Structure 1
Amino acid sequence: MDVEHSSSTEGKLLIAYSDKSGSTVGLEFTSVASEQATFLMGACTVAASGKHKRIVTSTPMSNTHSIESNTGSGGNDMEKRIAVLEADVAHIKGDVSEIKSSVSSLNATVISLDKNMAVALEKLSGIKDSIDKKPSTDAVEKRIAEAKLAILLGVPAIIGVGTAIYKVIAHYLAA
């Protein structure tokens, strides 16, 4: 494999972990040049220093020596970078704690809303039942028409009866 071609050609970098039970976790980088892949694998080697390691390749790589020999302290102010990462992780933990608290609060609110909705639906069901028992507009209009007819027929009858009673009393008082 040509060294210049291999360092500029982009490909995929896969970093994987698996335990004895078969659980796995992996990380895939795309569009990574061989040179960058070698650097990242070197970083993994530093992180796992003192552990049994081996380089697995399908073709010989000319720049694997940097992976094998890079087991020093990491350089470039590694302790400062770790301190920054630890501070960032502490902030992340705080944010996750706040999110959990918010979700818990939201859960209580949702449960409360669910109960209130059940009460509202029950009340609406009662209102619907009472509306269903009310007479229709046609039935009300029919009863009003019947009442008008009764009044129209009843008033003259009452007047006639009243007039007859008056005439009977007037006739007996005049005699």
Structure 2
Amino acid sequence: TQLHDYQKQRLHDFVGEKPSYQVEQSIIAVGSGGFFGKDKEDATQAQMKFLPIASSDFIFAYVVERFGFFGAFLLILLYAALIVHLLLIAAWGQDYYIKVVAGGLSLFFFIYMSVNIAMTIGFAPVVGVPLPMFSYGGSSFVNFMVMFAILENLLAYRFRYLYTDTGKKSFV
């Protein structure tokens, strides 16, 4: 097959009876958070470094351990609000290109968020997908910022024809 050894190991850990060490510690962190979470000193999984890569790939497990179910719900609610806002731009936009960019960005956010949360709680294999705009890592953040900047530029200049001398639509 075309898979590398580490990819085969990840798939084996996902379908096997026992999850990998990272996923096991992540599930413990998620379960120990309770409803309102733990203080920083009491968050044993992240504080004692049992949860590997807590600031990037498994940031959701750290958030749930520190802020509990309530914090996880708020984080998912913020992502849902952003996705719905992008979908509204896509649905009610007048320019087809803006619709495509906003819809694609909302799908991108949804897939990244879903895969990261699913792998954190053991419902998907660990693939290293960051939590958008939240995980530690420069390249992911820069990519999301560039995508938002492109969408913002499209939205800002959609009424540029109103400011030309002739008052007619200009495609220049």
Normalized per residue, which structure has more helix?
1
Q: Which one has a bigger Cα radius of gyration?
A: 1
The bucket for the TM-score relative to the shorter chain is under 0.3
Bigger relative contact order, structure 1 or 2, given CA contacts below 8 A and separation 6+? 2
Please, what TM-score do these two structures have when normalized by structure 1?
Answer: 0.25
